[in-house]
Amino acid sequence: MLLLVGMVAASASARAETQLFDPATYTAWADLRLAYADGERGWLDGGFGKLRHGGEAAADIAQVAVLWKPQLTDTVSGYALLQGVSDAAVPVGVEEAYVQWRPVPRSDFRYSLRAGQMFPPISMEHDGTGWTVPRTLTPSAINSWIGEEVLVRGVEISGQANIWGQGVGLTLGGFTRDDTAGTILSWRGWSLHDISSADNTGLPLPDGQKQGWYQLFKTNQAAQSRPMVEVDGRLGYYARIDWRPPAPFAINIEVYDNQGDPMALRNRQWGWATRFYNVGAAYRLNAQDELLTQYMAGHTATGWPVGQGRHVVDVDFESAYMLWSRRLTSGGRLSARFDWFGVRDYSRRAVDDNSETGYSATFAWMRPLSDHMDCGLEALHVVSDRPARMTHDLLSKQAQTQVQLALKLHL
Q: Which residue, among 145, 138, 102, has the nearest Cα to 278 in the 3D structure?
A: 145
- pLDDT for the residue numbered 106: 83
Q: What is the DSSP letter of 247?
A: S
Under 8 Å between Cβ of 152 and 186? no
> Which residues, other chains included, contact 152 with Cβ-Cβ below 8 Å and sequence gap of 6+?
117, 118, 119, 120, 173, 175, 176, 177, 178, 236
Residue type at 306 in one-letter notation? V
For the stretch 303-352, pLDDT in tens is 999 999 999 999 999 999 999 999 999 899 999 999 999 999 999 899 99
Distance CA 35, CA 32 (A): 10
Residues in Cβ contact with 309 at an 8 Å cutoff, skipping those fewer than 6 apart:
none
Q: Which structural domains are found in the chain, ordered by start?
A: 28-60+102-410 (2.40.160)
- Cα dihedral 206, 209, 210, 212 in deg (nearest 10): 60
Q: What is the pLDDT of residue 291?
A: 98
The letter for the amino acid at 81 is L
Distance CA 14, CA 34 (A): 49
Residue 276 and residue 210: Cα distance in Å, rounded? 29
| pLDDT of 411 | 87
Determine the pLDDT at residue 88: 87
Angle, CA of 172, 108 and 123, to the nearest 5°? 35
Backbone angles phi, psi at 325, to 5 degrees: -140, 135
Strand partners, 403: 36, 379
pLDDT value of residue 16: 54
**Global pTM value:** 0.95
Instruction: Please give the single-letter amino acid code of residue 357.
Output: T
pLDDT, one tens digit per residue, over 262-287 is 999 999 999 999 999 999 999 999 99
Helix, strand or coil, per DSSP, at residue 314: strand
Report the alpha-carbon distance of residue 366 to residue 344 in Å, rounded: 36
Q: Is 141 helix (H, G, I), strand (E, B) or coil?
A: helix
Q: Which residue type is seen at 398?
A: Q
Are 292 and 125 a contacting pair, CB within 8 Å?
yes
pLDDT-flagged residues of the chain (< 50): 1-15
